[in-house]
């Protein structure tokens, strides 16, 4: 396979003694007599049971009944059983265990709405709210094993709703708040959902959007759905179906503030998170009480280094895995998280920096897409705010280009705050690779694999490669791995385990440089192979966004009878610039100079936007399908489906 990848990066950040000394990662390593990160990676991947137990103890995960075995691999690496015979409920570890301790009075989370309202909820208040919501669910006849959807904006009630489902032993179904009827109904029906949390509506850039209408239409298609609990978010006049619909304020606050937590098996299903497939119906990744939350908390602790008293804001919807990741991880660590219901640049481009200043946020999870959109707005928007509370930036969802990465690092961060890059997936329960506070960074890079993840990069023959692009793989099990796809175990095996024996093939294009830093270069099914040369979209896209007029770019490969594939590029221009043939020629020249004549683009098209999911992933497979006039597949996760149609017309 291998064309070498021009990493083009020097180390730009080295951890200070303060970062190293204060790191959770340092404390964990010292507890186990581990001298450096390399030794940690070796021990954590060669002895998975030792590492998993060490993490469970480090996170103070408490069991009602102890496990007899950390992991049972008798059914193969694809189907491990974790914490065998153990009984626990993750809600006990997120909330219950803090009652009667100093943590009870600390802030569990802070909420802000687009219109300006704020609310702080302590651990004690969250305990009582969760109990009331759990009692409300039980009053409706819901209990262990019942699937309950969450189709809500990021309102304060969403946190006790999430935890209450787990508290009664139910199955959480997180649904993106921007989904339409088809997407909501398909997921609820697939899981045989019995109830749904929703809201009357939501503000989107100051305009009211009716969510209940979507929920009502979806409910008509889900015969198992018997109850809908509705939060009054924006005061819309909405119909309520008698016997089925219940206002949150009429049902939950009147409940008792104490409620028993269901004693569940460690491997009981906690949550099913649906991800969009390239073809066919969405895949429901199954997660358990001792799986997803443990991996999420580990990554948050070792990577973003959250401590009690610190505030983590990761821009997310609860329907994307980073929503539950934020809640479970921060609560297990006894920290504080921030949620915001609104657009991060509304009513002005400084909204996000204003929130950092006012709430003294210490870690900000921000997408490369948002950074690219903020740059043209001008530096004055961040410069007028005191950002001294920030210790870390973090990002996930989409590969970086060097220029926006350096803008965030050097300008906003003053060259002092690391960008903790994070990449993995819903089926991973978090990261395969991640930055951390104790290792140096290059632009766009990851420090290395997450501890406990036996990651590697393979060539087409299944051999490890360095300084070359290849397939991102995992060679050993980890506690956060999905327990398969809901009702579809064979699809899970075909998706991840069918290429090489006992090797998880993640579907990402990756590389490791000579200094041991890692890079994710996009989905490997986005990989473009031209005349035998294989390249990742990010390589070409980075060239285009270096141009002062280009805000975003996407690269795809399309069939070519001689070369196999030809390169087609899409460019989104910054405000104030117009497409022209001169600009097209200039961009083409830049690509040829950087990549060679053999990789000259067949076409460069100017569009107003690129199709993206709410977590800012650019959906190149949909761009390619639209350009070729093919069915783009499941578009329900897109925030801007009109972008697909624009590409179809632009070809």
The CATH number given to whatever domain includes residue 592 is 3.30.300.30
Per-residue pLDDT, 279: 42
- Say which CATH number the domain at 451 has: 3.40.50.12780
Q: How far apart are CA 521 and CA 613, in angstroms?
A: 18
End-to-end CA distance of the chain: 30
Per-residue pLDDT, 521: 82
Q: Is residue 12 part of a domain?
A: no
Indicate if 281 and 351 belong to the same structural domain. Answer: yes
Indicate if 199 and 165 belong to the same structural domain. Answer: yes
Indicate if 556 and 415 belong to the same structural domain. Answer: no
Indicate if 502 and 540 belong to the same structural domain. Answer: no
Q: Is residue 235 part of a domain?
A: yes
Distance (Å) of CA 143 to CA 79, 209, 231, 248, 439: 27, 32, 21, 18, 45
DSSP-derived letter for residue 410 is I
Q: Is residue 605 part of a domain?
A: yes
Query: Do 154 and 315 contact (CB within 8 A), yes or no?
Result: no
Per-residue pLDDT, 531: 56
Indicate if 286 and 239 belong to the same structural domain. Answer: no
Q: Is residue 25 part of a domain?
A: yes
Residues of the chain with pLDDT under 70: 1-8, 276-281, 525-527, 529, 531-536, 561-564, 614-615
Structure tokens at 72: 């049972």
Element (H, E) at 184: helix 181-190
Q: Is residue 2 part of a domain?
A: no
Distance (Å) of CA 617 to CA 178, 205, 369, 525, 637: 15, 21, 8, 14, 10
Closest CA to 607 of 627, 593, 590, 621: 627
Query: Do 454 and 45 contact (CB within 8 A), yes or no?
Result: yes
Per-residue pLDDT, 1: 35
Closest CA to 368 of 522, 142, 192, 238: 522
Structure tokens at 590: 């830049």
Indicate if 529 and 574 belong to the same structural domain. Answer: yes
- Among 224, 251, 278, the domain boundary falls at 251
Indicate if 429 and 567 belong to the same structural domain. Answer: no
Q: Is residue 256 part of a domain?
A: no
Query: Do 159 and 119 contact (CB within 8 A), yes or no?
Result: no
- Say which CATH number the domain at 100 has: 3.40.50.980
Per-residue pLDDT, 58: 98
Indicate if 74 and 150 belong to the same structural domain. Answer: no
Structure tokens at 630: 């093919």
Per-residue pLDDT, 4: 46
Q: Is residue 263 part of a domain?
A: no
Query: Do 305 and 391 contact (CB within 8 A), yes or no?
Result: yes
What's the 3-state SS for 374-404?
A: HHHHCCHHHHCCCCCCCCEEEECCCCCCHHH
Going along 264-360, which residue ranges are E strands? 269-275, 283-288, 311-314, 336-341
Q: Is residue 299 part of a domain?
A: yes
Indicate if 310 and 447 belong to the same structural domain. Answer: yes
Going along 435-548, which residue ranges are E strands? 448-449, 455-458, 470-474, 504-512, 518-523, 528-530, 533-535
Peptide linkage before 29 cis (omega within 30 of 0)? no
Residue written as tokens 């040369």? 533
Indicate if 70 and 212 belong to the same structural domain. Answer: no
**Pairing label, strands 171-174, 207-210:** unpaired
Per-residue pLDDT, 533: 57
Indicate if 450 and 599 belong to the same structural domain. Answer: no
Query: Do 355 and 388 contact (CB within 8 A), yes or no?
Result: no
Q: How far apart are CA 488 and CA 506, in angstroms?
A: 18
Task: Determine the structural domain holding residue 191 and report its residue range.
Answer: 96-251
Closest CA to 407 of 360, 368, 445: 368
Q: How far apart are CA 404 and CA 401, in angstroms?
A: 6
Per-residue pLDDT, 216: 98
pLDDT in tens, 455-477: 999 998 999 999 988 999 999 99
Per-residue pLDDT, 641: 87
Structure tokens at 606: 């100017």
Q: How far apart are CA 196 and CA 192, in angstroms?
A: 11
Per-residue pLDDT, 500: 97
Closest CA to 579 of 603, 602, 601: 603
- Among 191, 223, 251, the domain boundary falls at 251
Indicate if 402 and 540 belong to the same structural domain. Answer: no
Total-model pTM: 0.86
Report how many domains make up the chain. 3
- Among 523, 539, 567, the domain boundary falls at 523
């Amino acid at each position: 396979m291998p064309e070498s990848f021009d990493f083009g990066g020097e180390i730009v950040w080295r951890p200070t003694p303060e970062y190293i000394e204060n790191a959770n990662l340092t404390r964990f390593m010292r507890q186990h007599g581990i001298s450096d990160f390399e030794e940690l990676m070796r021990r954590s991947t060669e002895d998975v049971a030792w590492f998993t137990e060490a993490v469970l103890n480090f996170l103070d995960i408490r069991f009602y009944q102890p496990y007899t075995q950390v992991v049972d691999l008798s059914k193969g690496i694809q189907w491990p059983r974790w914490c065998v015979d153990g009984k626990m409920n993750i809600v006990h570890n997120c909330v219950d265990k803090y009652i009667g301790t100093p943590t009870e009075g600390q802030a569990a989370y802070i909420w802000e709405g687009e219109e300006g309202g704020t609310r702080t909820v302590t651990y004690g208040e969250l305990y009582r709210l969760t109990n009331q919501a759990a009692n409300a669910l039980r009053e409706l006849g819901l209990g262990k094993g019942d699937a309950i959807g969450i189709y809500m904006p990021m309102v304060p009630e969403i946190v006790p709703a999430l935890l209450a489902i787990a508290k009664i032993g139910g199955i959480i179904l997180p649904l993106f708040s921007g989904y339409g009827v088809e997407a909501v109904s398909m997921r609820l029906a697939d899981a045989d959902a019995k109830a749904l949390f929703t809201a009357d509506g939501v503000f989107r850039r100051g305009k009211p959007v009716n969510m209940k209408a979507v929920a009502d239409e979806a409910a008509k298609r889900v015969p198992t759905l018997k109850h809908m609990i509705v939060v009054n978010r924006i005061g819309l006049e909405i119909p309520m179906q008698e016997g089925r619909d219940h206002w949150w304020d009429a049902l939950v606050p009147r409940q008792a503030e104490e409620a028993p937590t269901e004693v569940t098996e460690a491997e009981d299903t906690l949550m099913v998170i649906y991800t969009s497939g390239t073809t066919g119906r969405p895949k429901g990744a199954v997660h358990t009480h001792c799986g997803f939350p443990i991996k999420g908390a580990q990554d948050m602790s070792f990577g973003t280094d959250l401590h009690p008293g610190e505030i983590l804001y990761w821009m997310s919807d609860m329907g994307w895995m980073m929503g539950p990741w934020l809640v479970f991880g921060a609560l297990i660590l006894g920290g504080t998280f921030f949620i915001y219901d609104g657009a991060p640049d509304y009513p002005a481009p400084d909204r996000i920096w204003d929130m950092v200043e006012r709430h003294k946020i210490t870690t900000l999870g921000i997408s490369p897409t948002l950074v690219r959109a903020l740059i043209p707005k001008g530096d004055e928007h961040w410069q007028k705010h005191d950002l001294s509370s920030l210790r870390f930036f973090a990002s996930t969802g989409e590969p970086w280009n060097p220029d926006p990465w350096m803008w965030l690092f050097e300008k906003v961060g003053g060259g002092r705050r690391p960008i903790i890059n994070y990449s993995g997936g819903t089926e991973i329960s978090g990261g395969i690779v991640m930055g951390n506070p104790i290792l140096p960074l290059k632009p766009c890079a990851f420090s290395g694999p997450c501890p406990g993840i036996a990651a590697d990069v393979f060539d087409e023959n299944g051999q490890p490669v360095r300084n070359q692009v290849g397939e991102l793989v995992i060679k050993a099990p980890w506690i956060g791995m999905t327990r398969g796809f809901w009702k579809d175990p064979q699809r899970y095996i075909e998706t991840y385990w069918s290429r090489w024996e006992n090797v998880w093939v993640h579907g990402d294009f990756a590389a490791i440089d000579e200094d041991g830093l890692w890079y994710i270069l996009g989905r490997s099914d986005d990989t473009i192979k031209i005349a035998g040369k294989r390249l990742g979209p990010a390589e070409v896209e980075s060239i285009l966004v270096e141009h002062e007029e280009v805000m975003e770019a996407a690269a795809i490969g399309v069939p070519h009878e001689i070369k196999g594939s030809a390169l087609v590029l899409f460019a989104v221009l910054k405000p104030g610039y117009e497409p022209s043939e001169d600009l097209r020629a200039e961009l083409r020249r830049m690509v040829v100079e950087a990549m060679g004549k053999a990789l000259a683009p067949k076409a460069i098209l100017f569009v107003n936007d690129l199709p993206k999911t709410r977590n800012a992933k650019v959906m190149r497979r949909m761009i390619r399908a639209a350009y070729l006039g093919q069915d783009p597949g499941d578009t329900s996760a897109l925030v801007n489906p009109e972008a697909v149609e624009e590409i179809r017309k632009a070809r």
